[in-house]
Amino acid sequence: METPTPAFVTLTQLKRQCNVDYDDDDETLLAMGAAAEDTVIRMTNRPVAELVEAGDGRLPASLAQAVLILAGGFYAKREPDATLADVEWLIRPWQAI
């Protein structure tokens, strides 16, 4: 399975946010960045194209920072102490009502 990669933040930005200076966790960081990006974009309830237009070809800076903060939280709080409450809001947008 191919590792999902974020479209709007770089591996370098993710590593800087998480204070990682080695390559062992690159795939993990990219996957967490992609999940964070997806979550932030979904939370806006706006099409990606509209966000990118507002950000002159990128996500607006505040949304990109939100992605980095969220990805950093994912990385800092990896599986050993994750709870259902930690992931519930990731699943909620996909729940049928």
The contacts of residue 23 (CB under 8 Å, 6+ apart) are none
Q: What is the pLDDT of residues 29-85, one digit of tens each?
A: 999 999 999 988 988 888 999 999 998 999 999 999 999 999 998 898 876 665 666
Does any domain span residue 65?
A: yes
In this prediction, residue 88 carries a pLDDT of: 73
- The Cα 37–Cα 70 span in angstroms is 8
Q: Please give the helix or strand (H or E) that residue 81 lies within, else none.
A: none
Q: What is the arithmetic mean of pLDDT over 18-36?
A: 95
Does any domain span residue 6?
A: no
Question: In terms of Cα–Cα distance, which of 11, 60, 55, 1 is closest to 32?
Answer: 11
User: Count of domains in the chain?
Assistant: 1
Overall size of the chain counted in residues: 97
Instruction: Please indicate whether residue 24 or residue 84 has the higher confidence score (pLDDT).
Output: 24
Range of the domain at 21: 11-94
Does any domain span residue 41?
A: yes
